[in-house]
Amino acid sequence: MNKGKVYLTGAGPGNEKLITLRGVETIAQADVLVYDRLLSKGLLRYAQKNCELIYVGKSAKEHTISQDEINKIIYEKSTQGKIVTRLKGGDPYVFGRGGEEGEYLADRGIDFEVVPGITSAIGGLAYGGIPITHRDYASSFHVITGHLKSDDENLDWTVLSKLKGTLVFLMGMGQLKEIVLKLIQNGMDGKTPAAIINWAATSMQKSVEGELENIYFKAKEKNIGSPSIIVVGNVVRLKGKLDFFEKKPLFGKKVLVTREKEKNNMLSQKIQDMGGESIEFPVIKIKETRKTKDLIFIIDRLEDYDWLVFTSQNGVKIFFKYLFKAGYDVRKLSGLKVAVIGKATGCELEKYHIKPDLMPNSFMAEDLFEKLKGHIKPSNKILIPGAKNARRYLAQELSKLCEVDELKIYETVKEEAEDYKKEIISKLSSGEIDYVTFTSSSTVNNLIEILGNKKSLLNNTKIVSIGPITTKTAVENGLSLWREAKKYNLDGMIEVMTTERGGKL
């Protein structure tokens, strides 16, 4: 029998960035990923394209699959010689059934490794503004499960009620009333500070604080359900002072990101840093054009040009990829001047140790032309490497001044989105998505095409455009814009979402 290996990996408490580096490695190495409900789906992006994804999520009221069946899945997949990553929310050994899974594998001689994760009992509390210990309030803590096996002994409430440290109950919302009553009946002061954090460390986080005697009623008033962390103890007094997460400008907001997969992370990162949740739904992808005679001809004669003009990061990246594949000596570019649209394109160029000679402060072809035209002579030759379906404004205007060649090295095409379409339509229908972001005309056109007769659902959200050209495309397609970025870049989009500056479009 060809035995593989199993990783029992903790994903941390909700926020995908709270997973460990080793945890990410085990996702990337996996042939099979067996994952739970209480973790960010954003973590799935680290999996290989051909990785088999098996969802085994469980909630208090609904178990998609039993623990015995999960044990069999990870065992059987490993016996096929596969690397299996069992990805669990929090830490696998803190009420995560990881110990049982480890035993099952050990009894059958399967090689496994445990990758610890940040338990919600600590990380979830921190995101709720509550330190689990504090020199002035608690020098110990006790983590208690709200779910016990039927043959477990009852908790000793007399002992628990007299403990001076912090009490944390996980998976206990169904028993909240009983927990409160047991603690008070066994001697704990009803005025003891208490709090509940729902969906900790996610954009859906809600919290409520009070005292032991009223926390049940306060939770009911705020409609706090599962999954939640119940915390009892004096450390709760610090919540208002230490609550950093719920004060972030995009806290509680969900933002649809429509850029290509390779670039989604840039905008997603900025959204998450501001406390929001990015929902990645790439509607475009970059397709490199095949090597043509024109391409070979131009590469062989690059030194004949006076200017290279780049209008996108993709243009820079793919152009240099072709050069390196052709074995081109980049020192030959020393006689050319380079112009770029936007800081992001300039930064991409600098990765190849070339600084742009000309870059406008704004991020439009019109502005680049205005800045460039004063440097152009009639005898000059300009090369514009770019997209097959890009705007031709720059090439058309420059060709009035000198000779211009366009080199079509890629095209923007529609991403196949059927796997996620149903989920996105559901979120738009329910009003879950607060913002939809468009970073190009292609993202507008393709999202509308993908949604089809459901396009009107975009009226349930706020649409943010990166700049005038994208805005024009959206308006022409009948969309109602909420904001256009003042600065035509990702930071500009974040700015309009985190402030209420600028007039409504």
In angstroms, rounded to a whole number, what is the distance separating the alpha carbons of residues 58 and 97?
A: 12
Select which of 31, 36, 91, 434 is catalytic.
36
Strands (E), 164-251: 166-170, 193-198, 206-211, 228-232
Q: CA angle, corner 152, sides to 146 and 157, nearest 5?
A: 60
Contact 273, 15 (CB under 8 A): no
In angstroms, rounded to a whole number, what is the distance separating the alpha carbons of residues 300 and 355?
A: 23
DSSP secondary structure string for all residues of 102-119: HHHHHHTT-EEEEE----
Contact 308, 337 (CB under 8 A): yes
**Angle 441-451/418-429 helices, nearest 10 degrees?**
90
Residues in CB range of 332: below 8 A, 6 or more apart: 302, 303
Contact 434, 277 (CB under 8 A): no
In angstroms, rounded to a whole number, what is the distance separating the alpha carbons of residues 389 and 58?
A: 46
DSSP secondary structure string for all residues of 116-133: ----TTTHHHHHTT--S-
Neighbours of 42 (CB within 10 A): 19
In angstroms, rounded to a whole number, what is the distance separating the alpha carbons of residues 134 and 234?
A: 9
Q: Which residues, listed in sequence order, are joined to residue 437 by a DSSP beta bridge?
A: 257, 464
DSSP secondary structure string for all residues of 233-245: SGGGGGHHHH--S
Q: Does the annotation count 58 as an active-site position?
A: yes
Question: What's the alpha-carbon Rg for the chain, to the nearest Å?
Answer: 28
- Candidates 452, 446, 484; CA nearest to 465 is 484
Select which of 3, 58, 381, 421 is catalytic.
58
Select which of 82, 88, 91, 171 is catalytic.
171
- Assess whether the previous peptide bond of 131 is cis (omega < 30° from 0): no
**What are the start-end ranges of the H helices in 274-312?**
293-300
Helix (H/G/I), strand (E/B), else coil: 170 = strand
Q: CA angle, corner 238, sides to 232 and 243, nearest 5?
A: 105
Give the Å distances, CA to CA, from 348 to 334, 397, 398, 488.
18, 25, 23, 17
Q: Does the annotation count 36 as an active-site position?
A: yes
First to last CA, the chain: 65
Enzyme catalytic residues:
36, 58, 171
